Amino acid sequence: MISLPEALLTELQHIKRFDKHTFIEAHQHDPVTSIRLNQDKITGLFQEQKKVPWCTEGRYLPERPVFTLDPLYHAGAYYVQEASSMFTGYLLQQIIKDHKGLRVLDLCAAPGGKSTHIASLLDNESLLISNEVIRARATILDENMTRWGHMNTWVTANDPRDFGKLHGYFDVVVADAPCSGSGLFRKDKKALEEWSEANVQMCSERQQRILADIWPAIKQDGILIYATCSYSRKEDEDILDWLAGQFEAEAIHVDIPAEWGVVEVKSNKGLSGYRFFPDNVYGEGFFIAALRKNDSSGEEYYPRFKSGHDLKIQQQAGYLLTDNNVRFMQTGKEEYCALLPDHEQDWQLLQKLVYFRKAGLRLGQPAGKDWLPAHDVALSIDAAASLPGIDVTREQALHFLRREDPGFGTIDKGWMLVRYNGLGLGWIKSLGNRINNYLPKHWRIRMEIADLD
Ligand code: SAM
C-alpha cells in the first residue's frame, strides 16, 4: 500500500475538488498506460483502444506491453506518454488555432513527450526548438525527436538564461518545469521517497528563476505555457501570481467539457490554471496554465545572414528527400543537414547563441563518390519513397535493432532502408550475401535474444 506524506495531504486540504479519501484510494492502483500516435506515421495500430478525451491521437492501453520489443515503437509510430500531460496539446490548439509560421520553444523538453506532441500540431512553416539543459537527457530527447521524424524540430542543450538573450523571439514558450513530482507518485517511487516541504520550496524558487530567465525571449502578446506534475500551490497557482506580480501576464481561459474531470482553479490573484487529480481523470497528477505576455522586452533587430546553402551537397544528398526545396547546409565539422527555407535565418542566428544537438534533418556525409546516409533520414517523414529498401518481419526487425545480421539471404547490393510495416527503422549496406548494419551503437536494443522470442 502506498502511504502518502501527511504534510502533502494537509497542504492539499484546501485545494478545489481535493478529496482525501478518493485521492488516497487512487494511489493504491497502478499508473495508467497511454500512448500518442504519430499522425505522420500511420500504421493502424491501437485504433481499437479507448481514446484519451482531450487528445485525438491519445490511446489508453489495458496493460503495459514491452515497448522495447515492438519495432513500431522504434520507428516512431507512437510515443509512450502520460495521458494527463497530453492536455498540453489541447491547450495549445485552443490558443494558436490557425496560426502559421510560429517560433516555439519547449524549454524543459526531455524526454520529449510534449515536444513530439507539439511537433505534430505545428504547420511546416513553424519552428520548434526542443531544449534540455541536462546533457545526458538531451541525448534521449534527440533520439525521441529523431524517431518522430520532423525536419522543423531542432534540439538544443542550454540553460534557460541562454535564450533570455533572444529578446521577443518566440511566439510560444512551453516551460514544463522541474518540480517536486507529487503528481507522479504512482509511477515514480523515488519522487515519493524524496518528497518534502523543503523540496517543494526549493522547486518553487527554481521555477521562478527559470521563468524570469526566459520571459524576455517571449514576444509581446506571445504565450507562455507553464506546467508541472506537482499538486502544490507553491509550484502551481502561486507561480502564476508570482509571474503576474513581476511582469504583465494575463492567464488565458479555455473551455473544457465537464465530463473530462479536469479542475479549473484560480490563483489568489484570479489567474486560471488546470489541475488533474488521478481520482477525477484517467491519468496522473498534472497542472497547466497558459499566460499571455502583455509587456515588451524589446524586440531586437536581427541582421540577415548570407545563405549557406551548399549546391554540391544538394547534388550528392538530394536523392534522400521527397522535396528538394530545402537548404542543404554544413552544420558541423562532418555534419550536413537539410533545413526548411523559412528557417535558415533562425539557424544562422541561433547557432551563434545556443548549443545545438541538431538543426533540421541530419543527412549524413560524403564518403568519396558515395553518400553515407544518417540514421535520421531512415526515420524522417521527408525521406524519399523511392529509396531502395527491404521489408522485414518482426523477428528480422528485432535482430536489426540488436545490430545483428537479420538473415536476409542474398539481396541487391548497396544502401537499403530497413522497413517494418512501411516505416523506416535504419540503414544496412548490402554486400550481396552479407550486410553491414548501420544502426547507431547507442540505439541498439540490449534485451537478450531469449527475451525477444
Ligand atoms: N517536457 C518533458 C516531457 O514532456 O517529456 C518533461 C520535462 S521534466 C518535467 C523537466 C525537465 O527540466 C527535465 O528534463 C529536467 O532535466 C529539466 N531541468 C532540470 N533543471 C532545469 C533547469 N534548471 N532549467 C531548465 N530545465 C531544467
pLDDT at 445 over 80: yes
| Number of other CB atoms surrounding residue 398 within 10 Å | 25
- Of the candidates 358, 299, 23, the one whose C-alpha atom is nearest the C-alpha of residue 169 is 299
Tell which atom from ligand 1 comes closest to the C-alpha of 111.
5
Closest CA to ligand 1's atom 10: 178
Closest CA to ligand 1's atom 1: 109
Closest CA to ligand 1's atom 3: 113
550528392: which residue's cell? 316
Q: Does 89 sit in the ligand 1 pocket, CB within 6 Å?
A: no
- Residue 98, phi-psi category: left (phi > 0), alpha (psi -120 to 50), beta (remainder): alpha
114-141 mean pLDDT: 97
Q: Does 55 sit in the ligand 1 pocket, CB within 6 Å?
A: no
Ligand 1 centre to CA of 4 (Å) is: 24
Ligand 1 centre to CA of 316 (Å) is: 39
Of 59-73, 101-115, 400-414, the one with minimum mean pLDDT is 400-414
For 253-284, write each residue's pLDDT tens digit. Answer: 999 999 999 999 999 999 999 999 999 999 99
414-422 mean pLDDT: 97
DSSP structure class, residue 240: H
pTM of the full structure: 0.97
Which residue out of 128, 133, 184 has the highest number of ligand 1 atoms within 8 Å of its CB and is therefore the one to mutate? Answer: 133
Helix (H) or strand (E) holding 116: helix 113-121
DSSP structure class, residue 329: E
pLDDT of residue 453: 53
Set out the domains of the chain in order of their start, with CATH numbers: 6-293 (3.40.50.150), 388-453 (2.30.130.60)
pLDDT at 68 over 70: yes
Q: Does 132 sit in the ligand 1 pocket, CB within 6 Å?
A: yes
Provide, rounded to the nearest whole percent, the portion of the chain with pLDDT above 70.
99
Cell numbers for 195, please give them.
Answer: 518528497
Which residue out of 82, 108, 207 has the highest number of ligand 1 atoms within 8 Å of its CB and is therefore the one to mutate? Answer: 108
327-348 mean pLDDT: 95
172-181 mean pLDDT: 98
N-term to C-term CA, the chain: 34
